[in-house]
Chain A
Amino acid sequence: MEFISQHPVLVAAVVKIAVLLFIVMTALAYLTWLERKVIAHIQSRWGPYNVGAHGLLQPLADGLKFLFKEDVMPPVADRLIYTLAPFLALSLGLTAIALIPFGPPIVQFPNGQPMFVVSDINLGLLFLFAITSIGVYGVALAGWSSNSKYALLGGLRSSAQMISYEVSLTISVVGVLLLAGSLDFNQLINGPNGQAGYWLHFIPKWNVFPQIVGFLCYLTAAIAETNRIPFDLPEAETELVAGFHTEYSAFKFAMFFMAEYANMITVSCLATILFLGGWLSPFPASWTWQNYLPSVSLLLLAAYCAWNTVSEMRGIARLQLGVVTLLAGGGGLICLYPPIAAGIQGPFWFTAKILAILFFYIWMRATLPRFRYDQLMSFGWKLLLPVSLANLVITAFVIVWPLLRHG
């Protein structure tokens, strides 16, 4: 007990890491479920339906399958790097999430540590870029160490693509940094010149409005950075079998998959923080009814599940959806308790915004065909980079102009 009271930072960090890891791992698993469901419904199919009610146990079944499959390693592969690559990809993908603040720093543990961010550092954005910038090694080394043509081509494409789009990604963000004048996530969202407050009393002061060009550039570059359709050239199955992970099987393959989804979550978090006001609610703080929104949405979900359980599910699926109903309903009731309702506001809005961006990602995947490789490169260098540079220059000029006139 003495140890716990003497090291508040360490203890709080361990607890937060454990909880966050559990939440993120679950989110990764159910992101695959969401993706398959959304794409299926866009294409007029059902998607996963048989394993669990509405396919809700499908991620679990997939995970078990990956665990119990044979782990094949090509005899010509570089053993050390072949094994290292998936670990590198996944651990970097998960580390980046530790920097994200999911709620305001005011909500604290009893020992004074902020509750919703694992690592609250001054240069959060810079370190996030540092972590994501070395994320490319996972893919590039996987491609090289497999010692296979297709994998090597995939790895090559991936590193070329990530170098190209990282430039635009970083530059599109600098406009926001100029507006906020800080690299700290909390100040970016809520600081003196942050995104709190309203224009014309109803438009929230989120950076997406003055920086709409930067936002679009960021979204495009972020899709390319995470190797998603329409930029998924590194694993283009029509040309390269499966690209950089052609030779990977079993859990190492699953780790690449998890890393990709973790990166998706990271870039969505970053877009939320920089452009969409982070954990801020779109409504004024005086509208106290919004404290009940999390519990109302959970209770509505519970009501839908209950109706679906009774009217459509049969047998074991009825039991499974019943459990979901109870979980959602119980969560909704807990969120009615006023202190929790007030504290959960930040994470609620943050999650809602992340989900919107992730839905956009999945929507793109269901809608757009893949780029050709030369199109990808000329799009990145000849369109995206000049546009984001122009955005940066104009933003800087608008900020400096009043100073020039008066000084």
Chain B
Amino acid sequence: MRGFRFWGLVPAWVLMAVTLIVPVMIVVLVSVSLRGPYGGFDWGFTLEPYREILFSTGWTDELEFDPKYLIIIGRTIALAAATTVICMALALPVAYVIATRGPRTKLVLLYLVTLPFWVSMIVRVYAWLIILGNDGIGGRLWQALGGGGLLFTPGAMLIGMVYSYIPLMILPVYAAIEKLDPALLEAGADLYGSRWTTARRVIVPLTWPGLAAGAILVFVPALGTVLEPMLLGGGKQMMMGTLIQTQFGGGRNWPFGAAIAIVMMVMVVIVLLINARRAIRKEGRA
């Protein structure tokens, strides 16, 4: 159509360049800069912030391998991965049940899945703080089952994270299941597959694109999550997001915070590249 040319894209490019593209480049520069004497940073070049991730400086200035940040990074990856896997395992049956309802029920159930997502994140996490506390229903249930304190454990963080991100998994998985031809299930049964064989060999492979899309949508924000470790982890169980935040929050060590942010970004880029390759491979096969 005439009249609409590239100039319509200019505001979007300018906005993103000013708020993201240029700043992210600055973050890269800051991550190799010197730590400022009173917080902040001084321009320069050093790999010190990255070295700090692995080594700490001992009493006599010698470098000692120190796994404390690696543990945080490992915990972050483990929790994000666990969140993703649990979301997948939950989304499959739930999305399947929704997709096999009548058209009206389907709409209502989808609406119910999406609805809590609109409620403020902080309110949702706060609610779990109450539930998982020692007086809360969740906490008491856990104790009745013989568990100790539930709040301020990785388990509490995991519950909060799954709760926060599950709709991002259900929607794409639902879309994939919705597209499944019911005749395929019948064909599976017709060819002597039991229900579970059909599920394993027909449903799961065919909904794989939905699961993969959901995995990206859940994993990326889960890596950067801040509220769950701060509130449900009680600040003791640090994750990369909270680590970054403390480096900037107290104005303490900007270059180190920037370095961690870059590490997180590289992890995200790797995940996105793996996903892109998978998509390209699939296109090639089709």
A and B pair up: no
